[in-house]
Structure 1
Amino acid sequence: MTSWKDRGDPTPGMFSIGLDPKGSTQYVLLWNNSVVYWASGNWTGNSFNGVPELSPTNSYPNSGYTFQFVDNDEETYFTYTVKSDVQIFTRAIIDVSGLFQAFVWMEAAQAWVTFFTQPKAKCSVYGMCGENSMCSENAAASCSCLKGFTENNPNNWVLNDNTAGCRRNVPLKCVNNSSVTKQDRFYLINNVKLPDSAHIVNAANIHDCELICLSNCSCTAYSHNRTCLVWHNHLMNLQDSTGGSSDRIFIRLDASEIPNSGTKKWWIICIIIGGFIILSLGITIIYFLYKRSRIGSINQGDGPLISFKYSDLQFLTRNFSERLGAGSFGTVFKGVLPDTTTLAVKKLEGFHQGEKQFRAEVSTIGNIHHMNLIRLLGFCSEGAKRLLVYEYMPNGSLDKHLFDSGSVTLNWKIKHQIAVGIAKGLAYLHEECRDCIIHCDIKPQNILLDASFVPKVADFGLSKLLGRDFSRVLTSMRGTVGYLAPEWISGEAITTKADVFSYGMMLFEIISGKRNLERSETNMETFFPVLVARKLLEEEVQTLFGSELTNDVSVELERACKVACWCVQDSESSRPTMGEVVKILEGLVDVAMPPVPRYLNILAEGSKNLKFFSYQSTT
């Protein structure tokens, strides 16, 4: 399979995928039919060892994937088959950017959804950014021309096709390798992964390395780190490696591209530096006093959301120096107000909503006030810089206390308090807000705990608003495997009962203190939700928790187990509302014995070695 030449030209391009021409049992991605920049790894008889996510044990529950690799004297090929009650359409392409992508058709959303992409690090695609450019690996890999260079084909760059690369603004004036020291200069780029096709030359020091490059008209760059490396003609596959590499490279440009300031008099420089220091000190003092007065006014009352300036949040977080964790679309940092009030500041990354939609969502979440929902204090929206400011939760997320061995062990009293609090927060979202809000990603990682272990539902990055005139909504798949309701898998329109299912799966984990999907490889019967459902029917659920429980705790545990089983019933209509869950957990309403949900058996059979991952969408 071969890519297009560019997005407007379907003639064969530079990228292709096929069986390894050297004869191994693996598929490779090639640039110009010569450079291998990704390989699947050899066939093991069950999967390709370099692509563990395509292993049948890591597929969707109950999807029924089967794989086959045929290799004989007449033919070699790979197939996969999906056995499902729902007809599934897939397609695969090689994009003009060199990425191999596979899609599945989501009937409910009427769109193709990407489910497989290789290579994961987009900058590893050979020549993705073309010549004389640099690739930066961020939320969406981006290309940029080097200083002194301009895009070869600007129209293609607008379409994110950067393979044509960049050209010099001013050609080098080197002729016959003479007079070059007066014509050309170098500029430095730090923290990079060096380009391909370097030549090693003998040089005693960095100065000699520079002279060697200047003495050859075809030399376009050099680097020196104990060894002198030089590059001739075009530079390919230069990558930004901030924080990951200390390599640096010197790029050769015409002298006119790098103005020379060496002719200034020393006394003039000293006067300018001295004046700059005095001016900077005065500005710093004024700026600090202004910040104190501005941030002091922020602390007054529970009024409307605060529209922060980006510089305010830099000041409060000490330039985002203390990382608390990460959630949907971003990273969370600790901030402190002058009165010592602690904040949690979330920097959104890869967030593609427009300004109007972003402010509408902030306004909606900002108007929600409930003791079991995280409180949004303010936001920042300055171009691409978008941040959310929340109250700080000193005990972090629930998953750390349930699953990490070094954290505080929660007793049943606190667990029961947490389970009831989460249910109350969700009941408020579903039943008491002006617009019904479906969270869509309920799991322990998205439950934060304050100093008294009061739970707060957090991270609304995947939530959906549902008008009171509607009972369900169509949306692309979102959430986390292990907590997804069956209707997500089948592509049906969802209701608040999708959150109820996720809550039920999480309630099993709160009860057991372990992940549902952590179980013995040899004993299929240790899938905890199935054990609970079966023991309830046998009236032996107490055997799961030991015989030393008090009567009150024993009753609450059995009630919680019944609630969890009712929440994960296959049919939405069989699941309780979150308001009913609250009443049951608090002992205000009796609950009948639940049947064993069929879907739990499916999860038990399909969850072995399943890794957690999220479907994220902004639609």
Structure 2
Amino acid sequence: MEKVDIETCKQACFENCSCKAAIFRYGSDASSGDCYLPLELFTLMNVDPDVIYHNASAFIKVQGPSSYPYSKLSTAGVVIISASVSVLFLLGVIGFLIYIICKRRQATQMEEESIGEVPGMPNRFPYEELKIATENFNKKLGEGGFGAVFEGTLEDDSKIAVKCLEGLGQHSSCKSGQTQRILCLKSQRFLVYEFMSNGSLDRWIYHGVREHVLEWKCRKKIILDVAKGLAYLHEDCRQKIIHLDIKPQNILLDSDFNAKVSDFGLSKLIDRNQSQVMTTMRGTPGYLAPEWLSSVITEKVDVYGFGIILLEMLCGRKKFDKSQPEESQHLLDVLQKCWEEGMLLDMVDKYSEDMQTHSSEVVEMMKVASWCLQYDYTKRPSMSTVVKVLEGVMEVESRLDYDFTDPRMQNTAVEQDKDMTPLMASVLSVPR
């Protein structure tokens, strides 16, 4: 470009994206000259000095320093915006979770409050009422694997037992008039039920620990109550309940000797369409059915335990008694021998004259026990069938196998020599 001033030359280079530099050579006057805009730049070190015009100026286009702060500002802005969006998103998620938790708590609270309004549901007790009833949980009855049990008295003078739960196994979801008072609080869980003044069955059937001898009529009533309780668990609940620890210590007696099955800490819930279930061995040695060795069990393990209890009630002794002569220590061996010799009456509790008077009924009851103790669990009756037999509606199966011997199970019975217990926490748990 000719006859332009130096500012025009520089501006022309700025406006041309391909321009690398602006070379301006002054003319005859100092206000104008020629402008050259090279597209490529090379070194000027080898230029012939003779061709260099001393009145020329060169301007090389470079990135201005003002663009750097702008770039840094843009990067910082992106970081700030991204962080802000992330924080807002996180706060939104936290707020949503808090909302969900609050709604669930509100729904749970409303559900709990509505329980007391539904007819037939368990009674509910405020914590403060239980605290007053138990005199600040002062009178401790005992303690077991699931918590301590305290005696209490309500305002209407009814006696209760309160168990403060520290851990739970499976418990039933039965809905029945037989279900006792149950209370669950958020911070602490309690079971509240009537106080069983006569304690557990073992106090009444073993020599040396019973307070007096039970009459035959009372024994029959207890046996029928236990049978009905187990039949209820097996057949009348929404899910089948296998107790898995049927023994005299878990049979509670009220002031009128009404019996209730208790302590469901080892119980198992199974669906109605399940005929059997696999589980690890649990229960009390001496009352374990032979099929426990295969870990595949049904409700017939409870039938077996019931058979042992029934036999112990009739004989007034434990299944394994080291105080007896060696050949008579195992009660099932004695039963087999007496059956073969036709001497079943010799097994009857000798402290009960009333049972001797009703010898024929006692012998029939021994047959019921033998039916429940069949080694093959498929040959044992259901508990509902046992109830019908006890009520006189059905007859006892006539073809029974009196060979109850299973050395593997007999060995476990030897270990059981500590089942004479007072009213302990293991006895006081969710009576049915």
Shared fold, TM over 0.5: yes
The structure, 1 or 2, with the larger RCO (C-alpha pairs under 8 Å, 6+ apart) is 2
Is 1:415 the counterpart of 2:219 in the alignment? yes
TM-score computed with the length of structure 1 as normaliser:
0.45
User: Match for residue 275 of structure 2?
Assistant: 471
| Correspondence 1:205-216 to 2 at 5 A | none
| Correspondence 1:512-527 to 2 at 5 A | 512-520=315-323, 522-527=325-330
Residue 605 of structure 1 and its aligned partner are, at CA, apart by 5.8
Given that 1:435 and 1:466 are in contact with CA atoms closer than 8 Å, whether structure 2 keeps it comes out as yes
- Percent identity, aligned pairs only, is 40
| Correspondence 1:11-160 to 2 at 5 A | none
Residue 499 of structure 1 and its aligned partner are, at CA, apart by 0.5
Letter in 2 for 1:553: H
Letter in 1 for 2:141: L
Distance 1:596 1:539 in 2: 12
User: Match for residue 400 of structure 2?
Assistant: 594
Letter in 2 for 1:528: L
Residue 604 of structure 1 and its aligned partner are, at CA, apart by 4.6
Given that 1:425 and 1:457 are in contact with CA atoms closer than 8 Å, whether structure 2 keeps it comes out as yes
| Correspondence 1:478-493 to 2 at 5 A | 478-492=282-296
Residue 480 of structure 1 and its aligned partner are, at CA, apart by 0.9
Residue 381 of structure 1 and its aligned partner are, at CA, apart by 2.5
Letter in 1 for 2:277: V
Correspondent of 1:334 among 151, 163, 166:
151
SS in 1 for 2:280: coil
Over 3 Å counting, the alpha-carbon distance change for 1:549 and 1:339 in structure 2 is closer
Given that 2:204 and 2:214 are in contact with CA atoms closer than 8 Å, whether structure 1 keeps it comes out as yes
Distance 1:342 1:535 in 2: 45
Over 3 Å counting, the alpha-carbon distance change for 1:553 and 1:532 in structure 2 is same
Greater radius of gyration (CA): 2
Given that 1:314 and 1:320 are in contact with CA atoms closer than 8 Å, whether structure 2 keeps it comes out as yes
Given that 1:536 and 1:593 are in contact with CA atoms closer than 8 Å, whether structure 2 keeps it comes out as no
Deviation per CA, 1:73-106, whole angstroms, max 9, x where unpaired? xxxxxxxxxxxxxxxxxxxxxxxxxxxxxxxxxx
Is 1:379 the counterpart of 2:183 in the alignment? yes
Residue 497 of structure 1 and its aligned partner are, at CA, apart by 0.3
Deviation per CA, 1:453-489, whole angstroms, max 9, x where unpaired? 1111111222112211211222222211111111222
SS in 2 for 1:480: coil
Residue 572 of structure 1 and its aligned partner are, at CA, apart by 1.1
Distance 2:355 2:189 in 1: 50
Residue 306 of structure 1 and its aligned partner are, at CA, apart by 3.6
Letter in 1 for 2:371: W
Residue 328 of structure 1 and its aligned partner are, at CA, apart by 4.9
Deviation per CA, 1:1-46, whole angstroms, max 9, x where unpaired? xxxxxxxxxxxxxxxxxxxxxxxxxxxxxxxxxxxxxxxxxxxxxx
User: Match for residue 241 of structure 2?
Assistant: 437
Over 3 Å counting, the alpha-carbon distance change for 1:606 and 1:446 in structure 2 is closer
Is 1:428 the counterpart of 2:236 in the alignment? no
Given that 2:165 and 2:190 are in contact with CA atoms closer than 8 Å, whether structure 1 keeps it comes out as yes
Letter in 2 for 1:540: M
SS in 1 for 2:375: coil
User: Match for residue 368 of structure 1?
Assistant: 176
Over 3 Å counting, the alpha-carbon distance change for 1:599 and 1:347 in structure 2 is farther
Number of residue pairs matched? 302
Q: Which shifted more, 550-559 or 568-577?
A: 550-559
Distance 1:406 1:300 in 2: 43
Residue 584 of structure 1 and its aligned partner are, at CA, apart by 2.0
Q: CA RMSD in A?
A: 3.0
Given that 1:415 and 1:510 are in contact with CA atoms closer than 8 Å, whether structure 2 keeps it comes out as yes
| Correspondence 1:110-259 to 2 at 5 A | none
Over 3 Å counting, the alpha-carbon distance change for 1:526 and 1:449 in structure 2 is same
Is 1:578 the counterpart of 2:386 in the alignment? no
Given that 1:322 and 1:333 are in contact with CA atoms closer than 8 Å, whether structure 2 keeps it comes out as yes
Is 1:399 the counterpart of 2:205 in the alignment? no
TM-score computed with the length of structure 2 as normaliser:
0.63
Residue 307 of structure 1 and its aligned partner are, at CA, apart by 4.2
Deviation per CA, 1:277-317, whole angstroms, max 9, x where unpaired? xxxxxxxxxxxxxxxxxxxxx99997422444433322221
Is 1:539 the counterpart of 2:347 in the alignment? no
Letter in 2 for 1:441: D
Distance 2:368 2:165 in 1: 36
Over 3 Å counting, the alpha-carbon distance change for 1:312 and 1:531 in structure 2 is same
Distance 2:231 2:214 in 1: 24
Is 1:451 the counterpart of 2:255 in the alignment? yes
Distance 1:531 1:507 in 2: 15
Over 3 Å counting, the alpha-carbon distance change for 1:554 and 1:484 in structure 2 is same
Structure 2 unmatched runs, 5+: 1-114, 420-425, 427-432
User: Match for residue 561 of structure 1?
Assistant: 366
Is 1:315 the counterpart of 2:154 in the alignment? no
Structure 1 unmatched runs, 5+: 1-297, 615-619
User: Match for residue 25 of structure 2?
Assistant: none
Given that 1:448 and 1:458 are in contact with CA atoms closer than 8 Å, whether structure 2 keeps it comes out as yes
More helix per residue: 1 or 2?
2
Distance 1:299 1:464 in 2: 28
Given that 1:484 and 1:502 are in contact with CA atoms closer than 8 Å, whether structure 2 keeps it comes out as yes
Residue 575 of structure 1 and its aligned partner are, at CA, apart by 0.7
Distance 1:319 1:341 in 2: 17
Letter in 2 for 1:314: K
Letter in 2 for 1:449: L
Deviation per CA, 1:418-466, whole angstroms, max 9, x where unpaired? 1111001111111222221111111111111111111111112221122
Deviation per CA, 1:380-406, whole angstroms, max 9, x where unpaired? 3333x2211112212111111223535
Residue 590 of structure 1 and its aligned partner are, at CA, apart by 2.1
Given that 1:327 and 1:459 are in contact with CA atoms closer than 8 Å, whether structure 2 keeps it comes out as no
